[in-house]
Amino acid sequence: MTLSCLDPAAGVRPLELADIVAAHGSAYQSRHYVTPLQARVLADIERCRTAALGGTLYGCAGCGFRRYVYLSCRNRHCPKCQSLVKARWLEARKAELLPVPYFHNVFTLPHELNPLILWNEANQRLLLNLLFRAASQTLLTFGKNNLGGKLGFTMVLHTWDQQLRPHFHVHAVVAAGALADDGWIPASSRFLFAVRALSKVFRAKYLDGLTELLQQNQLQLPPTHAHLLVASKRRAWLRPLRRKGWVVYSKAPFAGPEKLLDYLGRYTHKTAIANHRLVAMQGDQVTFKWRDRANGDQRKLLTLPAEEFLSRFLCHVLPSGFMRIRHFGFLANRSKQQALAACREHLQISPPPAEEKSMIDLMLELTGVDITACPHCGTQLQPILFVPDSDGSTKPALFDSS
């Protein structure tokens, strides 16, 4: 488990998701069905970086300073547990960057599919895997047909909008060029592919896959969609989806590798809501900030009953083991090393030097603080007491590299 520091001298801290869960999580679970996975997420968030998970008391031999360092839950849905994971991930991505522009595309599912996706974890796994497959195959097809080679891109799944409502879409960061057998084929630095054409192919690929899942009875249908068991009614339900324009969005290329990494840092390990967006919890009401992108990206406040807030948050808990960050084309994990070596050879660039930073170094970069040093005299802190977790086990909580 990663480590975090709890400094009583810091005074009153801002509102956190853990506070909302602690105040209203039990009442919510007593009134609503919560899956075992969702219950685990709530429990982890509430216990994260508290004595309930155990930790270590560190002391300074120079001035007598004491600091409790509690363990984090490391749950990917916890907004407090992503900074170090994100930093490590970005270090790995930095070594894979090529000196070419990168484009940002977004593939979005229509909201008519939300009831099927949200019905249970099995549906969610099937239909979100299909989202990755349809979007990635669309880009790979365009790369082959329009550029004559294999694209390389990373996709990140998001399941929410700014108000925590279901909004299923994948962000794709695409290198502007393709790897072919005889070299590197550059794409335009201003334009990758026409979004209308991408939208049509993406829609066709997804609906073909959805039709197959329905025909093979692989989806569990909510009562509102039981009519999809009948072939004629299924075709009638799919017809408007085949005519509707599906949203594929394309942004201008990033202005250099630094901007790309900044984007990746903001999007890849994002949780449904970050603690900094929480404004207030008053009684059973929760207020948080959101951006109204339809009206000039205005910053607004939304107040919801805590019950509704938790309900919206929990619908973004992904199935266990589901990968929300995936790599495709010449960045696919199974062939990435050889493919990137070929790209560098064609682009006549050298591979970056191998570098693996420790957790202490990464925390120093993130916070500007050496977490192993006494904040008063700079002496190296030493563990003086292991604090057991709520189960009674004592886990060493040194400044490790996990």
Q: Poorest-confidence range of 248-257, 296-305, 353-362?
A: 353-362
pLDDT for 219 beyond 90: yes
Question: pLDDT per residue over 310-368, tens digit each?
Answer: 999 999 999 999 999 999 999 999 999 999 999 999 999 988 776 666 666 666 665 66
Q: Which residue has the higher pLDDT, 7 or 174?
A: 174
Per-residue confidence (pLDDT) for residue 198, from 0 to 100: 96
- Give the mean pLDDT of 398-402: 36
Q: Which residue has the higher pLDDT, 339 or 10?
A: 339
State residue 105 phi and psi, 5-degree precision: -115, 150
Per-residue confidence (pLDDT) for residue 362, from 0 to 100: 60
State residue 119 phi and psi, 5-degree precision: -65, -40
Angstrom distance (rounded) from CA 39 to CA 33 = 10
Would strands 382-387 and 66-71 be described as parallel, antiparallel, or unpaired? unpaired
Q: DSSP letter string over 260-329? A: HHHHHHHHTT--SS-GGGEEEEETTEEEEEEEEGGGTTEEEEEEEEHHHHHHHHHTTPPPTT--SEEEEE
Q: Poorest-confidence range of 4-18, 67-81, 265-279?
A: 4-18
pLDDT for 255 beyond 90: no
For residues 241-253, one letter each, b for 16 or more C-beta atoms within 10 angstroms of the residue's C-beta and e for the rest, the string is beeeebebebeeb
**Dihedral, CA atoms, 128, 132, 133, 138, nearest 10 degrees?**
140
Q: In what order do the strands lie in the sheet with 166-175?
A: 248-251, 102-108, 166-175, 152-160, 325-329
Per-residue confidence (pLDDT) for residue 399, from 0 to 100: 39
* 154 Cβ contact partners less than 8 Å away, ≥ 6 residues apart: 93, 172, 173, 264, 325, 326, 327, 328, 331
- Give the mean pLDDT of 166-171: 96
What percent of the chain lies above the pLDDT cut of 70? 88
Angstrom distance (rounded) from CA 221 to CA 119 = 7
- Give the mean pLDDT of 187-191: 84
Angle of helix 306-314 relative to helix 36-47, nearest 10 degrees? 110
Per-residue confidence (pLDDT) for residue 397, from 0 to 100: 42
- Give the mean pLDDT of 192-203: 95
DSSP 13: P
pLDDT for 92 beyond 50: yes
Per-residue confidence (pLDDT) for residue 391, from 0 to 100: 58
pLDDT for 7 beyond 60: no
Question: pLDDT per residue over 203-217, tens digit each?
Answer: 999 999 999 999 999
Q: How many residues does the chain have?
A: 402
pLDDT band at 71 (very low <50, low <70, confident <90, very high): confident
pLDDT for 178 beyond 90: yes
Mean pLDDT score of the chain: 87
For 347-387, give the secondary structure using H, E and C: HCCCCCCCCCCCHHHHHHHHHCCCCCECCCCCCECEEEEEE
Per-residue confidence (pLDDT) for residue 367, from 0 to 100: 61
Q: Poorest-confidence range of 137-141, 367-371, 383-387?
A: 367-371
Per-residue confidence (pLDDT) for residue 9, from 0 to 100: 42
pLDDT band at 116 (very low <50, low <70, confident <90, very high): very high
Per-residue confidence (pLDDT) for residue 381, from 0 to 100: 81
Give domain limits for the chain. 3-75+358-387, 96-272+316-347
Angstrom distance (rounded) from CA 203 to CA 120 = 23
What residue ranges in 65-165 does DSSP mark as E strands?
Answer: 66-71, 102-108, 152-160
Would strands 55-59 and 66-71 be described as parallel, antiparallel, or unpaired? antiparallel
Angstrom distance (rounded) from CA 360 to CA 375 = 15
What percent of the chain lies above the pLDDT cut of 90? 63
Number of C-beta neighbours around residue 164 at 10 A: 24
pLDDT for 12 beyond 90: no
